[in-house]
Chain A
């Protein structure tokens, strides 16, 4: 694959994912809006681990922090940790059927959300509802869609 061309695709998909994170939705759906940026990052680091790694994860984590108005570094930390895990196991993960992959994605999203939960509580000890955890479930469900769309984009 042409190098130049693929980095355009990587950036474009990540920017699109960032747009999806802030897209206006009715309240019940907004509660379930999954972490698209992390899903796309996971996909790219599975597909081309030699290109997309921790540096990408950290950089886009910082951008997401600014975009979402979070404390600086919380998404950066969560994303780099998750992508590190993906990089370690990417050989096995590629062999897995999609169901097993989505179980791994579930774990990733859960860890990321756990870290975010911790940072949010650090910033303001406000009571977060149980709905805070919904994006983990919806994210796992959307992994199937993300995987197929992203594969289409990669091979296009």
Chain B
């Protein structure tokens, strides 16, 4: 009798969750009970990290500081140019009557060292809906796109990496603006590019950036580098892959992005979006 109730209740839950998002509040409430476990499992590792930070010697810190200062100087000079370029870009886009994404707000989230399902590429971070995180937000690190928020719970969120077999991200080749979709391969550090025509102009070493189509990811962030593939006349047979730019399995700090703009209105098809210069 109890078994019958349990099975019926489980099947009811399964069907409801499969069909709709209606169970999200229940999941969020229950996660308040289970999330402490995630933090508990993560605790020894973060403690170890903090301890090693405290115990680093003065010399190491000093060299690191000098190193960071130099890097900061280089970045600053590059930003000087960037600001002028951005202004110019806005002006040019205004001439084309094209909308421009204003800017993005980011939140730094830290990875929790826990293992969910080894056959899925999903990570858990320590920021959730209490910080305003919501599903489908893009997630970046300092080098490129990491993935998107898959499920936001009050105290943690699950992030689907771009290498997850169920993830696809609209990209363009930075060199010539060629649009395609990068699909996760299920292998760490590999993306597949299955939707390329035979005569596509793509070369090993090409940088893939987000195209902004689809609306989830803001345009212009680096995604990956095209891997070497044998140059044959028939590219559809060749399996073209790319390596993600982001350090997917090595970074603990991630950036969750809010795009400040509303939906980007589509431009008239006659106006071609200029391909970004290298």
A58-B115 contact, Cβ under 8 Å, with A24-B45, A124-B166:
no
Task: Indicate if the CB atoms of B10 and A74 lie closer than 8 Å.
Answer: yes
Contact of B3 among A15, A18, A24, A84 (CB under 8 A): A84
- A: contact size bracket: 35 or more
What distance in Å separates the Cβ of A23 from its nearest Cβ neighbour in chain B?
Answer: 6
Task: Indicate if the CB atoms of B9 and A55 lie closer than 8 Å.
Answer: no
A80-B166 contact, Cβ under 8 Å, with A63-B33, A67-B34, A132-B119:
no
A48 sits at the interface (CB 8 A): no
- B: contact size bracket: 35 or more
Q: Mark the stretch among A2-10, A25-33, A39-47 that contacts chain B.
A: A25-33
Contacts of B2 in A (CB 8 A): 53-55
A129 sits at the interface (CB 8 A): yes
Per-position 1/0 for B34-60, Cβ under 8 A of A: 100110110001000000000000000
A-B contact count (CB 8 A): 111
What distance in Å separates the Cβ of A113 from its nearest Cβ neighbour in chain B?
Answer: 12
A25 to B41 alpha-carbon distance, docked (Å): 11
Task: Indicate if the CB atoms of B41 and A76 lie closer than 8 Å.
Answer: no
Contacts of A18 in B (CB 8 A): 34, 37
What distance in Å separates the Cβ of A21 from its nearest Cβ neighbour in chain B?
Answer: 8
Contact of A73 among B13, B41, B115, B122 (CB under 8 A): B13
Contacts of B275 in A (CB 8 A): none
Within 8 A of B (CB), among A55-99: 55, 57-58, 61-63, 66-74, 76-77, 80-81, 84
A77-B7 contact, Cβ under 8 Å, with A18-B37, A54-B2, A126-B165:
yes
What distance in Å separates the Cβ of A30 from its nearest Cβ neighbour in chain B?
Answer: 4
Per-position 1/0 for B2-24, Cβ under 8 A of A: 11001101111110111000010
Contact of A22 among B3, B6, B9, B114 (CB under 8 A): B114
A80 to B9 alpha-carbon distance, docked (Å): 11
A22 to B7 alpha-carbon distance, docked (Å): 25
Task: Indicate if the CB atoms of B6 and A71 lie closer than 8 Å.
Answer: no
Task: Indicate if the CB atoms of B37 and A69 lie closer than 8 Å.
Answer: no
A66 to B27 alpha-carbon distance, docked (Å): 6
Task: Indicate if the CB atoms of A58 and B30 lie closer than 8 Å.
Answer: no
What distance in Å separates the Cβ of B42 from its nearest Cβ neighbour in chain A?
Answer: 8
The 18 listed contacts between A and B (C-beta, < 8 Å) are: A22-B37, A22-B38, A25-B115, A30-B115, A31-B119, A54-B3, A58-B6, A62-B30, A71-B17, A73-B10, A73-B11, A73-B13, A74-B10, A77-B14, A80-B6, A124-B166, A126-B166, A127-B165
Give me the 4 closest cross-chain CB pairs, A-B, nearest first: A73-B13, A77-B10, A80-B6, A73-B10
